[in-house]
Amino acid sequence: MLKIQNLNKTYGNRQVLNNLTFQIQPGEIYGLLGANGAGKTTTINIICNLLKADSGDILVGDRPVSEATKSSIGIAPQENLLYKTLTCEENLKFYAQIYGLTGQKCRQQIETSLTAVNLLERAKNPIETLSGGMQRRMNIAVALVHQPKLLILDEPTTGLDIETRYEIWDLIWQLKSQGMTILLTTHLLDEAQRLCQRIGILKGGQIIAQGSLDELRKYIPAQEIITIETEQEDAAIALATQLGFTHRRYGNDLAFWLPKPLELKEILTYFEGISINSISRQSVQLEHIYLEVMRGN
C-alpha cells in the first residue's frame, strides 16, 4: 500500500532523512517510532505531498506521490483539525467538500464516518461540547470522510486518559479489521506493541530496526528480564556478570537479562549472598528493545 525507497531530505546542512526505506502492506498497522527530530513529521509531510523530498521514491498503491494521490490518504494529526463552534456534521461536510464530495455522496460519507467512530448520535452537537476523547475520534472521522486507502495517525492518544486511550485503540482495531491500512506514529511504546503488526524504529532519518515484535526480540538475547531491588547493587552486578547475565539500567531500576525463564527459587539461588528486597519478572517488551536498539546505534 505504501512503499518508500531511499528517501532523502535536508534542511540547510542538516540531513533529516537519510535513504529512508520501508513499506506497509495492505491492511497492516505499521508503527513508526523515534525520538523528536528523528524525521517522522518530515516523512508524513512528504507522503502527503506537502513537502518535496530531495531524492527517493514513494508509491501510494502503485502511484508515485502527487496531487493525484492525496485522495488516497487520510491524516489525523496530533492537533485536532476541528472547528469547535461547528457541529460534527458541519465539520465533516466542510472537509468532504474539499475532496469534492457533494450531494447524496457527501451525506452518505458523513454518516459512514460518524458511524465508524461511534459518534452518529452526536452529529448535531458542536465540537466544543464533546469530551477530549470524542474530539479525538472526530479528528479521525475527518481523516476517513473521503474513504482513503491509507490512514495516517500521528500520536492519536497523546494527552488522553487511559480509559479514552482504550477507546481509541478499539477504534483503530475496528478500522484495521475493515481492511484499512494504517501508519501510526506514537511515543507510547505499549500502544505500538498492542496495535502494530510491524514496527520501524527511526533514528537519524534511517530505519535502524524493523519487524514484528517477535522479530525485533532478536536484539535482546533473553527470554526473561528480572528487575532487582537491593542495597548491594555492585555485588549483584558482579555476580550476574560471572553468571553471564547482561545487566541494564531502566531508569533507576537494575535489570538482568536471563537466557531462559527461571523459577523464583532458582533466581534466588543464583543471587545467594545478596540481600534482595524485591524481584519482578517480565518478558522482553518493546520498551526494552527500543532502548537497546537506540543504545546500540
pLDDT at 46: 96
Please state which CATH class domain 2-211 belongs to: alpha beta
Task: Determine contact, residues 205/20, Cβ cutoff 8 Å.
Answer: yes
pLDDT for 27-49, tens place per residue? 999 999 999 888 999 999 999 99
Which of 97-111, 118-132, 220-234, 261-275 is least confident?
261-275
- pLDDT higher than threshold 80 for residue 282: yes
Domain ranges in the chain are 2-211, 220-296
Q: How is domain 220-296 classified at the CATH fold level?
A: Alpha-Beta Plaits (3.30.70)
Which of 141-150, 156-165, 277-286 is least confident?
156-165
Q: What does the radius of gyration of the chain's CA atoms come to, in whole angstroms?
A: 23
pLDDT at 37: 86
Which of 88-97, 123-132, 221-230, 267-276 is least confident?
267-276
pLDDT for 146-171, tens place per residue? 999 999 999 999 888 899 899 999 99
- Alpha carbons 53 and 17: distance in angstroms, whole number: 9
Average the pLDDT over 136-144 and give the result.
Answer: 95
- pLDDT higher than threshold 60 for residue 297: no
Q: Does the model's pTM come out above 0.75?
A: yes
pLDDT at 210: 96
Per cent of the chain over pLDDT 90 is 86
Mean residue pLDDT across the chain: 94
Average the pLDDT over 256-280 and give the result.
Answer: 91
Q: With cut-offs at 50, 70 and 90, classify the pLDDT of residue 296.
A: confident
